[in-house]
Amino acid sequence: MRIGAYIRLFGRPGTDPPPPTWTSIRDQALAAETAGFDLVVLEDAALYPGEAGDAGVWEAMTMAAAIAAATTGIEIGHAVINNPYRHPTLVARCAVTLDEISGGRYRLGIGLGNTPDDYPRFGIDAERRYSRFAEAIHVIHGLLRDGRASLDGQFYQVPDAELILRGPRPTGIPIIVAGGKPKMLGLAARYADEWNWWAVDEADGGLPELTRLSTEVDAACREIGRDPASLGRSVDVFAIDAPTGSSQATELAARLLPYRDLGFAEVRCDVRPRRGESRADAFAAMSDVVQLLHDG
């Protein structure tokens, strides 16, 4: 089973803990790489509104490029890029550029967008997000798989886009589509290499809901003549307390392995540090869990 480290990019000056700096984010990525994680994933938002004050968020694609340059072996992705923020041709160009910087380690995770409160404040039109995403993923898929895309759509007009520089994997950047509604599951079945969703590390771990959605994903694949086994599955798990010692590591691994049994070959963990420790420390403390998941 593959395991990913979910790196948070948000914060607000004057809070405790303080907002993440580039140095702290780099340290998290390096700690995850040293601990044996397979990938790091980054969130994407313009800001997070809150009663105590809005939290800002570092730009996700820029930060992914920095992490790609700072690491050597771990994969880099997003959980996930919010489609309304960027034109689909820009997303595809960023993806191949990130794949070039990382030497073929980038994975494009994208969804229709799930933080609608911030869009109007930045002048971003996010109405009819599903229809907008359906056009965008068509363009992105065409550019990443064939190097060309054309679309005369309602939201995007792309007469004849071409990716001339396509990085080390001209047809191979994995596309991960996140979504939990039937229409989004249909787009994942049609365009994605992997479907992604999320769960919370408490009570039943979201397994009943994931079981239902997995069945719907399988049906969406069969509807278009695709073998469901050809669509990978990943789940983001929020929020996990960093283990202390081998006993807690074993218990945590036992809570995560049922996702594999459900067909999710990859779990991305949002790990909370212990009091007085950093998020880099939290990822370092996961090394035993990583090994247990890799061993199955």
Contact (CB, 8 A) for 184 and 216: no
* pLDDT at 229 > cutoff 90: yes
pLDDT-above-90 percentage for the chain: 91
Question: pLDDT band for position 194 (50/70/90)?
Answer: very high
Confidence at residue 171, expressed as pLDDT on a 0 to 100 scale? 82
- Quote the mean pLDDT of the chain: 96
Question: pLDDT band for position 51 (50/70/90)?
Answer: confident
pLDDT digits (tens, 9 = 90+) for 245-260: 999 999 999 999 999 9
Distance CA 101, CA 111 (A): 23
Q: 162, 135, 262, 163: which is closest to 205 by C-alpha?
A: 262
Distance CA 257, CA 219 (A): 24
Which residue is listed with tokens 């009570």? 203
* Poorest-pLDDT segment among 129-133, 199-203, 286-290: 199-203
Q: 43, 218, 204: which is closest to 115 by C-alpha?
A: 43
- Three-state secondary structure call for residue 70: helix
Distance CA 289, CA 248 (A): 9
Contact (CB, 8 A) for 182 and 130: no
The CATH-assigned architecture of domain 2-123+166-295 is Alpha-Beta Barrel (3.20)
* C-alpha torsion sign, points 254, 258, 260, 264: negative
114-136 in b/e form (b: 16+ CB < 10 A) is ebeebbeeeeeebeebeebbbbb
Residues 6+ apart with CB under 8 A from 248: none
pLDDT digits (tens, 9 = 90+) for 52-65: 889 999 999 999 99
- The secondary element (H helix, E strand) that includes residue 23 is helix 22-35
Confidence at residue 148, expressed as pLDDT on a 0 to 100 scale? 97
**Entry pTM:** 0.96
Overall average pLDDT of the 210-220 stretch: 98
Q: Where are the alpha helices (DSSP H) in 103-181?
A: 129-146
CA 260 to the chain's CA centroid: 18
Contact (CB, 8 A) for 190 and 124: no
150 to 31, 97, 141, 155, 157: CA distances (angstroms): 42, 21, 11, 13, 8
Structure tokens at 148: 């060309």
pLDDT digits (tens, 9 = 90+) for 133-150: 999 999 999 999 999 999
* pLDDT at 115 > cutoff 90: no
Overall average pLDDT of the 89-107 stretch: 98
Count Cβ atoms within 10 A of the Cβ of residue 207 and give its class: 0-12 exposed, 13-18 middle, 19 or more buried. middle
Overall average pLDDT of the 75-82 stretch: 97
Q: 255, 254, 285, 292: which is closest to 271 by C-alpha?
A: 285
